[in-house]
């Protein structure tokens, strides 16, 4: 019986290693002969254990990345990241637009129902693992602007700008509830105003509690708030929570490169129920720019007209989404 000779390269590897050990990929690269090197690679690959995903190993998701919920997604303090969507609507048309409230308009001049609308929103982590593990402190800022860019008669003014700074704690969690993963609990302070003087001034302060949930393709953000009371002399909008609401819920669903989101606000009153709904659809356009369609119906699209109903549809581009 004839035995085939063992290749010299593999013989050297066998002589320099224990009988039970297999060659490594690095050792294989030292073999000059192509056939011998290929055989070495096969032996090394066969000896390598297949990777095993542990059930309790954290799964990286878009929500985890946006809110830095896992160790692998942590960016540390002072990193600026998106908060709410950042977008620019080239045209936003309100079928119920009424400019009667603008007492500072020149005589015989009107505002247009078609305008541009854009939002800038970011957040910064101020503290990480405060007091106990998983508790972070965040600052966030959102600015929403309504721009009469096509109104050349009035030199294209900004009709309304809303400023919304907030600071909040976020406690990172990971447990199952109602078929979803509960990923975070939020508690903080929110201020919103339009920076105007009387009689067009609007502002309010809130304590906000929230929670983050997710499934494979869906992210949900639930918030309830309590308005901090103001004196009657300083209150520009004493009934604002009856229109904008006492809480909201955002649900975003992602499929391939498309995202559909809905934001619902409600005053939680059965006798005189008010609120709003906003629907968002984003889709690929080119490179990092996405197309964006937005529909809003209800109260509180802008602070200055918080108690007037809007029915608005807009189209533009989006830089960062909910996820």
Residue numbers annotated as active site: 191, 193
- E strands present in 47-147: 80-82, 86-94, 114-127, 135-147
Query: Cβ(253)–Cβ(245) under 8 Å?
Result: no
Distance between CA atoms of residues 26 and 284, nearest Å: 43
Q: At what angle do helices 34-47 and 8-16 cross, to 10 degrees?
A: 40
Query: Cβ(219)–Cβ(237) under 8 Å?
Result: no
Residue with tokens 């002589």: 15
Query: For the chain, where are the alpha helices, taking DSSP H only?
Result: 8-16, 25-28, 34-47, 62-67, 240-244
Task: Quote the distance between the C-alpha of residue 173 and its chain's center.
Answer: 17
Query: Cβ(189)–Cβ(158) under 8 Å?
Result: no
Q: Give 93: exposed, middle or buried? Use CB within 10 Å, 0-12, 13-18, 19+.
A: middle
- Per-residue 3-state assignment (H helix, E strand, C coil) for 150-209: CCHHHCCCEEEEEEEEEEEEEEEEEEEECCEEEEEEEEEEEEEECCCCCCCCCEEEEEEE
- Coil, helix or strand at residue 10: helix
| Total number of residues shown for the chain | 323
């Amino acid at each position: 019986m004839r035995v085939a000779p063992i290749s010299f390269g593999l013989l050297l590897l066998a002589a320099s290693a224990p009988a039970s050990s297999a060659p490594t990929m690095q050792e294989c690269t030292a073999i000059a002969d192509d056939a011998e090197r290929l055989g070495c690679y096969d032996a090394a690959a066969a000896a390598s254990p297949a990777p095993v995903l542990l059930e309790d190993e954290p799964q990286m998701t878009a929500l985890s990345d946006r809110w830095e919920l896992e160790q692998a997604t942590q960016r540390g303090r002072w990193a600026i990241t998106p908060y709410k969507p950042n977008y620019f609507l080239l045209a936003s048309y309100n079928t119920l637009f009424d400019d009667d409230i603008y007492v500072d308009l020149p005589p015989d001049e009107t505002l247009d129902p078609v305008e541009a609308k854009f939002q800038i929103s970011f957040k910064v982590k101020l503290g990480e693992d405060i007091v106990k593990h998983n508790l972070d402190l965040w600052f966030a800022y959102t600015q929403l602007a309504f721009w009469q860019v096509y109104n050349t008669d009035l030199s294209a003014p900004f009709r309304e700008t809303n400023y919304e700074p907030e600071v909040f704690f976020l406690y990172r969690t990971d447990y199952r509830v109602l078929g979803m993963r509960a990923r975070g609990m939020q508690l903080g302070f929110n201020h919103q105003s339009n920076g105007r003087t009387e009689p067009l001034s609007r502002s309010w302060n809130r304590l906000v509690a929230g929670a983050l949930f997710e499934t494979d393709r869906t992210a949900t953000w639930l918030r309830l708030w309590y308005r901090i009371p103001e004196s009657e002399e300083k209150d520009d909008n004493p009934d604002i929570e009856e229109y904008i609401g006492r809480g909201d819920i955002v649900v975003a669903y992602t499929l391939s490169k498309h995202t559909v989101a809905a934001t619902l606000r409600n005053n939680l009153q059965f006798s005189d129920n008010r609120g709003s709904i906003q629907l968002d659809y984003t889709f690929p356009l080119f490179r990092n720019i996405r197309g964006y369609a937005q529909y809003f119906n209800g109260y509180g699209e802008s602070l200055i007209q918080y108690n007037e109903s809007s029915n608005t549809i807009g189209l533009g581009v989006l830089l960062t989404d909910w996820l």
